[in-house]
Amino acid sequence: MSTSALTMTEESPPPILLTRVLRLLGYLTDPKTLPGKAFTRWEQSMTGTMEKLATNDRYLRFAGRGLQMGFRVRKDMIDATEEMLHSFRIPALSEVIALRNQVRVLHDQLEATTCQLEVALDLLERIDARGEMLEAAVAGAPAADAANEAAGKGGKKAKKSAAKAEEK
Amino acid sequence: MSVFSKVKDTAGGAARSVMESAVGNFEIGQAWAAAARERSVGPYPYLAPVVRRAAQVPEPPLNSTPHQVVYTKGKMRLLRFEPAVRKHKTPILFVYSLINRYYILDFLPGRSLIEFMRDQGFDCYAIDWGIPGEVENHMGWSDMLGGLIQSAVKWTLRTSGASDLTLYGYCMGGTMALAYASLYPEGLRNFVAQATPVDFHEGGIFHTWTRPEYFNVDAMVDAYGSAPIDLMEAGFSMMAPVQRITKWLNVFRQIDDPKFVTTFLAMEKWASDNVPFPGGVYRQYIKDCYQENNFCNGRMVVGGRRVDLGNIACPLLNLIADKDTIAPPASSLVLNELVGSEDKTVMNFPVGHIGLSTSSKGPKMIWPKVAEWMADRSEPMAEA
């Protein structure tokens, strides 16, 4: 048995039953096939109907009223349930969820605080470095003045000797 | 090879495949039970495990660009995507919508807008709004703009060491970022609005559905405290209810193409990862934007101040998706007439709303142009 045959088998294992079923479903609804063409026609007609419904004034008014009623019923039910739980001193689901979220927020906050501290330390380091540079500049200033003065005197002497040489 | 070992191998192989099949089916069953427990109504939690098993692909590697959390405030996190070689001193701050999650901007490796911009040498930051809870439900636009976005801008500038930034708003995040830019223009060097609705009366089907005679936003926010996930999902499904299911049949036809299946699953995973929209912000968004169209007419008031888009004077890039049904081109185009900027650019691309961030055209056709526009207007990084 050659190695390549083995590799091929490893690379493309035979499709499992589930894959075959999905492939068949895909084939049956493929617009290129006969059943797929029928399916596409049905899909297009359904899409057209839904589009009309989604912009129909009567439907939208009806759906809006239904939603509004649903919202009111929900609000009343939640208020009643939470009140009952509180009367038994039992935490309601909303409180447990809030607690869980709070823990996550604390974790993130800790991560961010670490990062902010790093930024602050960077800034402090930069300020320190700038301070040291300034100190060095201040300390170096008298020495530089002295050097300048010495250079000035030396310059005058050099000029005098050059003039003498020219005269000679 | 003896007959005995052949029989042993065959039996072993059969046993293994039966075992694998049992484990696979058990995993699907577990995923379905979890979806039923969470009362999921969308097709993703039920169909994704089946497709993953049939196509033998792992979970899509969404949101995989390395990042760190540099700041948090409540549920909001500011994420930094630092480039290996930074070429531009001006950072980019991405402001995403409160609908769905920010990681559509960091989709899959090789198809991630944030990863692309980071590789172009931009120091990238993104606001992750997190999953809003009780506290966020009581927040309004002034808390979002003057509290969260302003803090994000401040920390972006502080962390990146820059004096100004490029604000990059996407979808409803673009609307919020525009409102922010009009109220707090300091520190903004450039503005990029990607698929951002501005004239909401050109907002397509959403404008129709949110008309006051059909939709009572107050009743919903009073009942739920927020815009609940199921209702938001139902709204998006109603845009194409039949295709919502039938698009899965197309995946069945391409079940042997792992790349296609992974991209499809990644997109569906993101689309099904809805978060509740904070109630206070949603109430004002629906009323001021969709119902009364105050946003583009300079009548929207946030924290006692009027949102006037004419206050935006920085260079503006308006990115428009030609096939957008959520922020149709007519709804976004008007922005260039409203801002006070002199440097205004519009770029159109033949994709849909999400395609601007996830399409295969992104890294080849769309993002290089956007990166070039931003690079031309960003401060270059000083040589070390």
Of chain A, the percentage scoring pLDDT greater than 70 comes to 75
Q: Which of B70, B89, B90, B72 is nearest to B80 (CA)?
A: B70
Rounded Cα distance, B152 and B169, in Å: 13
Q: How far is CA B152 from CA A61, B25, B77, B356, in A?
A: 41, 45, 9, 24
- Give the helix ranges, DSSP H, for chain A: 3-11, 17-28, 34-54, 57-87, 93-167
Residue in chain A nearest B224 by alpha carbon: A75
Residue B79's φ and ψ, nearest 5 degrees, are -105, 140
Rounded Cα distance, B225 and A160, in Å: 93
- Give the helix ranges, DSSP H, for B240-348: 241-253, 258-272, 279-284, 329-333, 335-338
Q: What is the tens place of the pLDDT at every residue in B173-201?
A: 999 999 999 999 999 999 999 999 999 99
Rounded Cα distance, B31 and B271, in Å: 18
Give the residues across from B318 on adjacent strands: B193, B346
Rounded Cα distance, B215 and B218, in Å: 9
Q: Do B69 and A27 touch (CB under 8 A)?
A: no
Residue B1 pLDDT > 90, yes or no?
Answer: no
Q: What is the tens place of the pLDDT at every residue in B198-241?
A: 999 998 889 999 999 999 999 999 898 899 888 888 888 888 88
- Contact assessment for residue B95 and residue B174, using Cβ atoms and an 8 Å cutoff: yes
Q: What is the tens place of the pLDDT at every residue in B296-355?
A: 999 999 999 999 999 999 999 999 999 999 999 999 999 999 999 999 999 999 999 999
Residue B294's φ and ψ, nearest 5 degrees, are -75, -25
When pLDDT is cut at 50, 70 and 90, the band that residue B245 belongs to is: confident
Cβ partners under 8 Å of residue B172, min gap 6: B97, B98, B99, B196, B197, B285
Residues of chain B found within 8 Å of residue A38, distances taken between Cβ atoms: none
Kind plus residue range of the DSSP H or E element containing B226: strand B226-227
Give the minimum alpha-carbon distance from A160 to chain B in angstroms, rounded to a whole number: 46
DSSP letters spanning A80-113: HHHHHHHHTT---HHHHHHHHHHHHHHHHHHHHH
Most B-contacting residue of A105, A107, A111, A125 (CB-CB within 10 A), to test interface: A105
Among the partner residues A13, A61, A101, nearest to B213 by beta-carbon distance? A61
ipTM value of the model?
Answer: 0.77
Among the partner residues A13, A75, A116, nearest to B71 by beta-carbon distance? A116
Q: Do B253 and A55 touch (CB under 8 A)?
A: no
Q: What share of chain B is helix, strand, coil (3-state, %, to 5)?
A: 50, 15, 35
Is B131's Cβ below 8 Å from some Cβ in A? yes
SS3 call for B139 = coil
Residue B165's φ and ψ, nearest 5 degrees, are -145, 170
Neighbour count for residue B380 (Cβ, 10 Å): 12
Tokens 């089907």 map to which residue? B205
B376 vs B137, residue with greater confidence: B376
In a 13 Å sphere around the CA of B228, the CA atoms on its Cβ side amount to 15
List residues of A whose CB lies inside 8 A of any B CB: 13, 16-19, 21-23, 25-27, 29-30, 43, 46-47, 50, 54-55, 60-61, 63-64, 67-68, 70-72, 74-75, 78, 94, 97-98, 101, 105, 108-109, 111-112, 115-116, 119
Select the highest-mean-pLDDT range: B138-147, B226-235, B244-253, B336-345: B336-345
Q: Which of B129, B84, B122 is nearest to B103 (CA)?
A: B129
Count Cβ neighbours within 10 Å for each residue of A48-58 and write b for 16 or more, e otherwise. eebbeebeeee
For residue B51, is it left (φ>0), alpha (ψ between -120 and 50) or beta?
A: alpha
Instruction: Specify the amino acid at residue A81.
Output: T
Positive/negative CA dihedral, B351, B357, B358, B363: positive
Q: How far is CA B5 from CA B8, B15, B98, B314, in A?
A: 5, 15, 62, 77
pLDDT at B192: 98
Mean pLDDT of successive 10-residue segments in chain A (168 residues)? 40 75 92 92 91 91 93 89 86 77 77 79 87 87 64 55 51
Rounded Cα distance, A54 and B325, in Å: 14
